[in-house]
Chain A
Amino acid sequence: MLSSPTFSPGLTRFRLRPKMEYSNEALDEDLTRLTGAWAALQSSRARDSVYEFLTVVFDLVDWWMSDGKAKGRARRILIRQGIKPPEVTEPFGAVIIAAAHPTILDKRMISKWSRVLRYAARYKDPAQSLGEFVKERGGLNACAARYARRLGRGPRALVKKD
């Protein structure tokens, strides 16, 4: 006898939404995906696994940015994790901190990954994967340095697109 002839995702509840909202429940699901990606990175010894984690972070903040609400949502995700958000929130860094919570990451590592992701947000073709983009430009350290040169603060910062 066939036990389950049909499959349905089976919505457990349904209510009409006059507006396209991004609820706390949706944010929590994204947070679950992030913490899962962080756990996978921690348990993996593969060289490229950091790109898988950073891709999850990048994809989330990328759509928040195109929705024009990245900073507010980054603050929300920190609060959902029980972390007091700083006065000035940098979305990529905030999401990395939230994903790794309760692990406390080294500030320099957060800063480096965040610079890489900001550089990718500015220059990466949406059709190209984050891993390919970073590797083509010499890896994480090289991308972080490129960000500092081209988009970071200071006299050497350029605004020209490469």
Chain B
Amino acid sequence: MKFHLDKTLALWADVEVQMAKIHSPNVRRKILLQSVLCEFEEQGLAMRYRRANGTLGWKATPKFSQHLSDAELDATDDLQHADF
């Protein structure tokens, strides 16, 4: 089964899959990815949806998007007040 992820989720899921791969090098990427997606879903970061062609896809939740935009604002703020 192929997973369809939106851009934001694909990026962060890939980061977590790479991390998981370090601890479970012999596990197939598909299993790692579905495990990461289920964890994201349980933490309210990812949600499933029906795509235009009727198949299921995954996307970042509004909560996750909010986390990301807060983090971006924090980073911008840190940069502006950084003492280099």
User: A: which residues have CB within 8 A of B?
Assistant: 1-5, 7-9, 11-18, 20-23, 25-26, 29-30, 32-33, 59, 62-63, 65-67, 125-127
6 tightest A-B CB contacts, nearest first:
A25-B42, A29-B44, A7-B71, A17-B35, A126-B52, A26-B41
Whole-angstrom distance between the alpha carbons of A5 and B45 in the complex? Answer: 21
* B38 surroundings in chain A (CB, below 8 A): 17, 20-21, 23, 26
Docked-complex contact A33 and B61, CB < 8 angstroms? yes
* A15 surroundings in chain B (CB, below 8 A): 35, 39
Do A26 and B42 contact each other (CB < 8 Å), given the known contacts A66-B56, A126-B52? Answer: yes
Whole-angstrom distance between the alpha carbons of A8 and B67 in the complex? Answer: 10
Docked-complex contact A126 and B50, CB < 8 angstroms? yes
User: B: which residues have CB within 8 A of A?
Assistant: 1, 12, 15-16, 20, 23-24, 27, 31-32, 34-45, 47-52, 54-56, 61-64, 67-68, 71-72, 74-75, 78-79, 82-83
12 residue pairs bridging A and B, Cβ less than 8 Å apart? A1-B83, A2-B78, A11-B39, A14-B36, A15-B35, A18-B31, A25-B42, A26-B38, A26-B41, A30-B47, A66-B54, A126-B54
Given A29-B42, A125-B52, A126-B51, 18 extra CB contacts under 8 A: A3-B78, A4-B75, A4-B78, A5-B75, A7-B71, A14-B35, A14-B36, A16-B27, A16-B32, A23-B41, A26-B38, A32-B44, A33-B44, A33-B62, A59-B49, A63-B49, A66-B56, A126-B50
